[in-house]
Amino acid sequence: MSIKFLDMSAQRKTGNMPQTYRSGGEDMYGSCPDKCPLKPADAKTATEVDEAYARALAKSVPRNGVSFSYSHFSPEKWKGFGFNKPKRTTLNYSASTQEEAIQSFKDGIPTVWAEENPSARKVDGVQLMPCPADKHDHIQCVNCGGSAGPICARPDRKFIVVFKWKQWKKIPCYAANGYVKFTWKNTGKVLSNMTDGERLLEWVKQLPFGSTVRHHIAGDIGKVGKHE
């Protein structure tokens, strides 16, 4: 199976919040799309979105809580699966270029993208705002946005979130480095007769009332086993 659940986390960026990891079983990148610019060149990626998992993900919000995540798959492939509505998971599109990000935002999709030196500015009439956790050590997703909740969990926000593109030594994907890599590598070793979507819905049900969940810290919504 290809999903792993953490009720608590010591991850620096998110802070302590429930979170998941998704992998492609034997290949860590097996749930990621080929168009992601951060993965290694020889990674075995997914050719299509796992609709059953994506529909379950959209519904996987704790009672009175919020859920959010990101996808490198084009929004055309998932926007009809129930995301970005009240009481549903916010799924942000991780654009590969600034132009793609602007277009996605104009299409009404919550959007993020990464650059070396994030700055607040307007491009083509669209506001871009740096992730506050990249600018301030005391901010993590768990306290980002104050009482209104994490910025990335707001599907109707009026700006694109810009992350800092860190220059890792070998593989640009942040999840292939450091602490996240260790957790992600073990994800494919979990055995279960249930699908990822079924397991996810069961896990979310038992989380404390009002929890904020960060879905797949690493991995994406691709169909595992359908390789490029």
Residues that bind ligand SF4 (CB under 6 A): 131-133, 139, 141, 144, 150-152, 161
167/181 Cα distance (integer angstroms): 16
Structure tokens at 127: 């506001």
Closest CA to 72 of 42, 108, 102, 33: 33
Residue whose entry in the numeric block shows the structure tokens 């994490």? 150
24/50 Cα distance (integer angstroms): 12
- Minimum distance of ligand SF4 from residue 30's CB (angstroms): 24
- Minimum distance of ligand SF4 from residue 152's CB (angstroms): 3
| Cβ closest to ligand SF4, residue 45 vs residue 90 | 90
- Minimum distance of ligand SF4 from residue 117's CB (angstroms): 16
| Cβ closest to ligand SF4, residue 148 vs residue 194 | 148
| Cβ closest to ligand SF4, residue 174 vs residue 203 | 174
| Distance spanning both ends of the chain, measured CA to CA | 19
| Cβ closest to ligand SF4, residue 139 vs residue 190 | 139
Strand arrangement, sheet containing 66-71: 3-6, 19-22, 212-214, 66-71, 90-94, 111-115, 159-164, 126-130, 121-123
Structure tokens at 14: 């998110």
- Minimum distance of ligand SF4 from residue 122's CB (angstroms): 18
| Cβ closest to ligand SF4, residue 52 vs residue 139 | 139
Bridge-based pairing state of the strands 3-6 and 111-115 = unpaired
- Minimum distance of ligand SF4 from residue 211's CB (angstroms): 15
Bridge-based pairing state of the strands 111-115 and 90-94 = parallel
| Cβ closest to ligand SF4, residue 2 vs residue 111 | 111
- Minimum distance of ligand SF4 from residue 65's CB (angstroms): 14
Structure tokens at 223: 């169909």
Residue type, 54: A
